Structure 1
Amino acid sequence: MRFAIFTLACTLGLGSCSVQQGDPALAPLLDLIERRLAVADVVALHKWDNGQPVQASEREEAIIAAVRQAALAHALDPEQAAAFFTDQIEANKLVQYARLSQWQLAGAAPALPRHDLQRIIRPRLDGLQAALLRQLASFNQTRSRQCARELALSLAQRQGDPLHRVGMIRATGQLCDWPQVKMLYIGA
């Protein structure tokens, strides 16, 4: 009962909520997820300016195929890596849809710097993809039995606007669902 009240207080921002982290790889993984999710605003702005839909099925399929292929090099189960990145993509789209809706209501997008999708945004996302795979592998090595609890507490402590906080919850939706794997061996 005390834990539920503590979690509610943290979620509502009603007090100091410092928690001992049981998993040293969780915070760096969440930092990377947060960085990837921040790119959603820039992507939404590009799509607004160019009249492009949020849904980009071919791009998503290419990302998931690349992640599956790269997974073994990071000692990850390809299905886990694919599920993790599907969550990243869905969280990113959630932010994009919300931003586009906000801008439709306002009648205009904000006057922010624009970034080229091909030359700047996608290379940034590709770099984050590799870093996320490395950190997911590290997280898999140290993940606590209390993963879901630690994740909820860590997410409650994070700063950010409400939309990105919900995006973080979506991006980590399956993070603790996979069995802990100490090492995935390749070869005979």
Structure 2
Amino acid sequence: MTLRSKLCLAFSAALMASAANATPAPEALSPLLTAIGERIAIADQVALSKWDSHKPVEDRQREREVIAAAVAQAPAYKLTGETVEAFFAAQIEANKMVQYINLSDWALEGKAPDLPRPDLVGQIRPQLDRLQKRLLQQLADFAPYRSDPQCPQWLAQATHNDKQHPIHRLALIRATGQLCIFTKS
């Protein structure tokens, strides 16, 4: 047996052992990922609005407003401002990623999909604002599990869903990239 074969076998055995010792994801993870997924899905509508209006994806003023509003609500959910700021910054980055990809794809095709166009200010932003409260509650519910050693594995398993659109899957990975907290031993 070659060294490479031995290493592959050892790696496979280690993976199987870690999977056998893995604890199931806490119930609090699924609602959080659902809410994050809803926010990511809204990015498609935002992209359509920006395609039609020729506005840039980047809107730093709006981003600051969203994060500031979330941070202001953090104490009501027993979350730190720092936690909420990092979480919503990740949500915004994930949404921008979806918008950039969609806009690039549509530019290549020379047109955007023929879908209803909700109004960005009158319909989409209020929807995002309502979702923000759910995200805060779901983040608070998941907070006790963020430092669990199994957290990265739970997220990896949950974000590798073949039924999701690839763009949304990548955005979900980006949006959850900082959910787990690594503590020094």
TM-score (norm 1): 0.83
C-alpha distance in 1 between matches for 2:29 and 2:75: 21
Distance 1:43-1:3 versus aligned 2 partners, 3 A rule: farther
Distance 1:68-1:4 versus aligned 2 partners, 3 A rule: farther
The answer for the alignment partner of 2:76 in structure 1 is 73
Query: 1:53-68 alignment to 2 at 5 Å?
Result: 53-68=56-71
Query: 1:13-32 alignment to 2 at 5 Å?
Result: 21-32=24-35
Distance 1:145-1:44 versus aligned 2 partners, 3 A rule: same
Q: Computing the radius of gyration over CA atoms, which structure comes out larger, 1 or 2?
A: 2
Distance 1:158-1:27 versus aligned 2 partners, 3 A rule: farther
- Asked if the contact 1:94–1:167 (Cα under 8 Å) also holds between the matched residues in 2, the reply is yes
C-alpha distance in 2 between matches for 1:147 and 1:101: 33
Query: 1:92-171 alignment to 2 at 5 Å?
Result: 92-143=95-146, 144-157=148-161, 159-171=163-175
Distance 1:138-1:81 versus aligned 2 partners, 3 A rule: same
- Asked if the contact 1:29–1:132 (Cα under 8 Å) also holds between the matched residues in 2, the reply is yes
- What amino acid maps onto 1:152 in structure 2? A
Task: Indicate which of 74, 85, 88 corresponds to 1:85.
Answer: 88
- What amino acid maps onto 2:61 in structure 1? E
C-alpha distance in 2 between matches for 1:69 and 1:3: 48
Structure 2 residue matching 1:157: 3-state secondary structure: coil
- What amino acid maps onto 2:173 in structure 1? I
The answer for the alignment partner of 2:6 in structure 1 is none
- What amino acid maps onto 1:39 in structure 2? I
TM-score (norm 2): 0.84
- What amino acid maps onto 1:60 in structure 2? E
Task: Indicate which of 41, 45, 60 corresponds to 2:44.
Answer: 41
CA displacement at 1:4 relative to structure 2: 8.0
Deviates more, 1:47-56 or 1:159-168: 159-168
The answer for the alignment partner of 1:175 in structure 2 is 179
- Quote the sequence identity (%): 49
- Asked if the contact 2:23–2:150 (Cα under 8 Å) also holds between the matched residues in 1, the reply is no
- Asked if the contact 1:24–1:142 (Cα under 8 Å) also holds between the matched residues in 2, the reply is no
Alignment coverage as a number of residue pairs:
167
Distance 1:32-1:90 versus aligned 2 partners, 3 A rule: same
Distance 1:158-1:137 versus aligned 2 partners, 3 A rule: farther
